[in-house]
Amino acid sequence: MTDIIDRLEFFLADRGIYMLALILFAVGIYGMIACGNYMKKIMCMNIMQVSIIFFFLTFGQKEGGTLPIALENIFSAEAYINPVPHALMLTAIVVSLGTTGVGLALLMKIKDIYGTIEEEEITGKGGK
Amino acid sequence: MNQIAQHLPVLIILFPLCATLLCPLISHFSPDWGKRSVISALFLSVVCAVWQLVIVVSSGESIHYFLGGWKPPIGIEFAVDNVNAVIILLVAVISWTTSLFSSPFEKKERTRSLYSAGYYSMLAFLAVGLLGMSTTGDAFNLYVFMEITAISGYGLIAVGEEKGPIASFRYLMTGTIGASMYLLGVGFLYASTGTLNMADLADKMPQLTDSPLIIIAVACLIVGFGIKMALFPLHGWQPAAHSYAHPGADPMIAGIMIKIPAYAMLRFFYCIFIEDSKVMQLFFAALGVMAVLGVLFGSLKALRYDTYNKILAYSSIGQVGYIAMGFAIGNVYGLIGAVLHIVSHAFMKAGLFYTSGALKYRYGIHETTYLGQVYRKMPVTSLTMVVCALSMIGLPPFAGFFSKWYLALGAIQKGQYIFVAVLILSSLLGAIYFFRIIEKLFMEREKISDEENNMRTEKKGKELPWQMLVPLIVVVAAVILIGLFNAYIAGDVLKPVITEVFLK
């Protein structure tokens, strides 16, 4: 019994955070498929994108690492965390902002044309 | 001159990028000049692309351009070799002709400066994304260019017909999943190798191949690229998006927006992974199945429709299947066939969508039943339609025949006869739906009366404005010339790079 608890603890400490990212990703994709409301679809899309940002930041983290700014008394590279994943994710955040903006603009136009953003009502009106 | 020649890879992208930013400003004062700035910037890109192709082919060495002078593992690299240079020229030519082609449209629609500025900015931005995707040698940079392409694509689809916004929204949802999957794949690769440069990734991959992390990464990458290139089970967004996009920009969206991800897939997989690793065997198997099903599905589905755009959109799914088939064959002839098919199909499909746009411009129709006797009034359009359709079916002097020929040669060499059978079967199906269009064009009774015709055309007697005739002629010339000079293109330009870089 204690063996199982030990292994579970090890698993959660080692991989638990990745599982969290995976769950977020799955929630996002499920919502994008299952929600009938286009606004909710966009929100789920954002959840999915955040999960990927989360994933990158997680593997960019290091125990005992400090900010990647050169300090006077620390010389070894091991003491600093890798700044590249964070820099990449800044770009990814900008991209996700752009996609969300385009999505919202499209929703406004869809609302103008069909008067609704519920998928069922739109397909009922012949928008396939 | 040499100074400029050094910077060609980045200049080709920089001209349309500048035009994207300047166009709204210029359009504020004069919409016409805003439009002209985009057209001339894209023309400069065409000139630079030709120049770059000549340099690369004559020297036989690839160009490596380091942005900001930072060397590869740290900085971003632009790498151009023979295959690349051909694709870049293809993108530049089709972008330029499309920008020319769409200029008469907004005269008919709205002449507001905002509309014109937005439309041309997005067109130039789409060109930036596609050119960047085919130039870059950095995995994350590829993601950024992919999203640039996608975001401008969403806009161009949404300004199209009435159902445009819905089609665009669905593409946005699917496209974002695709891009996120790609990013996830890159994340796995980065976590296991610590580099994003493709050449560097290729160096570090042999020690890691067959680890579960890499297999997951490959699965994510296949889904990501597959969605972007509308490969069979992941094609859901494509028919609506291609049918309802803005008729002026449709040639570019249908012609090259799904080919460049295919090219990126080729570069990514064949440059990074070694051919006989377990990962690549999985890749061949997955892509082979998707390709065969996609070719059959696309061809059968195209038979069902009477709308010109829908037929073309579904036939695109089949044609992307051919390209994937070339990747799945994976020997020299297979890859030559795939690259040649990317080029020739881009011209053929762009040509067919030019004719669709021309019909829309003059008569406002998309249904094939109204095509009767149109050839009397629009001879150049009908010629383009016939040439491109025959090339799509794969009849000899045209480009489409030779790319299918190389694919078949590759499949026979590797002993995969099922690909040959599928190739022939789907060509026959293609013959059915394209000959149906050609038959309607020449044999059907006239449906559009002359009064209606006069009402809809601004100037009677003239077929189309010259801005629309130039793209049609360029496409016909390209389809015939690629067909005639296929031995040179395949043997001298593509083969050395494909044997050395892709199949090392």
Q: CA-to-CA distance for B127 and B121, rounded, in angstroms?
A: 10
- B185, closest residue in chain A (CA to CA): A52
How far does the CA of residue A1 sit from the closest CA of chain B (Å)? 30
Of B168, B191, B196, the CB nearest to A106: B168
Are A110 and B180 inside 8 Å of each other by CB? no
Are A128 and B162 inside 8 Å of each other by CB? no
Please report residues of A whose CB lies closer than 8 A to that of B151.
98-99, 102
Q: CA-to-CA distance for B208 and B348, rounded, in angstroms?
A: 41
Identify whether the C-beta of residue B39 lies closer than 8 Å to the C-beta of residue B31: no
Please report residues of A whose CB lies closer than 8 A to that of B147.
95, 98-99
Are A38 and B190 inside 8 Å of each other by CB? no
How distant, in Å, are the alpha carbons of A121, B244, B247 from that of B241? 20, 6, 11
- A91, closest residue in chain B (CA to CA): B144
pLDDT at A100 over 50: yes
> What residues have CB less than 8 Å from B237, skipping those under 6 apart?
B167, B170, B171, B173, B174, B175, B227, B230
Q: How many CB pairs under 8 A join A and B?
A: 68
Would an 8 Å CB–CB cutoff place B187 in contact with chain A? yes
Please report residues of B whose CB lies closer than 8 A to that of A107.
169
Are A102 and B155 inside 8 Å of each other by CB? yes
Would an 8 Å CB–CB cutoff place A122 in contact with chain B? yes
Count of all residues that appear for chain B in the document: 504
Residue numbers of the domain that contains A89: 2-124
Would an 8 Å CB–CB cutoff place B309 in contact with chain A? no
Which stretches of chain B drop beneath a pLDDT of 70?
Answer: 1, 106-114, 209, 447-462
- B163, closest residue in chain A (CA to CA): A127
A19-56 residue pLDDT tens: 888 999 999 999 998 888 899 999 999 999 999 999 99
Host H or E run for residue B446: none
Exposed/middle/buried for residue B419 (C-beta within 10 Å: 0-12, 13-18, 19+): buried
Residue B180 backbone class (left: φ over 0; alpha: ψ -120 to 50; beta: rest): alpha
- B181, closest residue in chain A (CA to CA): A52
How far does the CA of residue B315 sit from the closest CA of chain A (Å)? 19
Tokens of B488: 């040179």
Maximum CA pair distance of chain A?
A: 69
Of A55, A56, A106, the CB nearest to B169: A106
Residue A22: count of CB within 10 angstroms of its CB: 13
pTM for this entry: 0.91
According to DSSP, the residues that pair with B80 across neighbouring strands are: B63
How far does the CA of residue B257 sit from the closest CA of chain A (Å)? 18
Cβ contacts of A30-33, under 8 Å, gap ≥ 24: A32/B173, A32/B177
Identify whether the C-beta of residue B502 lies closer than 8 Å to the C-beta of residue B335: yes
Identify whether the C-beta of residue B249 lies closer than 8 Å to the C-beta of residue B154: no
Are B187 and A59 inside 8 Å of each other by CB? yes
For residue A128, what pLDDT is reported? Answer: 47
Host H or E run for residue B369: none
Please report residues of A whose CB lies closer than 8 A to that of B143.
92, 95
pLDDT-derived band at A127, boundaries 50, 70, 90: very low
For residue B197, what pLDDT is reported? Answer: 87
Pick from B28, B26, B46, B50: nearest CA to B36: B26
For residue B492, what pLDDT is reported? Answer: 84
Mutate to test the interface with A, among B121, B136, B151, B180 (most CBs of A within 10 A): B180
Identify whether the C-beta of residue B56 lies closer than 8 Å to the C-beta of residue B81: yes
Are B184 and A128 inside 8 Å of each other by CB? no
- Helices B113-135, B259-272: axis angle to 10 degrees equals 20
Please report residues of A whose CB lies closer than 8 A to that of B136.
none
How far does the CA of residue A44 sit from the closest CA of chain B (Å)? 10
Number of domains in chain A: 1
Region A94-98: mean pLDDT is 92
Of A99, A109, A128, the CB nearest to B172: A99
Tokens of A43: 């929100």
Identify whether the C-beta of residue B11 lies closer than 8 Å to the C-beta of residue B67: no
Q: CA-to-CA distance for A63 and B503, rounded, in angstroms?
A: 41
Are B176 and A45 inside 8 Å of each other by CB? yes
Tokens of A85: 């994943």
Would an 8 Å CB–CB cutoff place A48 in contact with chain B? yes
CATH of the domain at A22: 1.10.287.3510
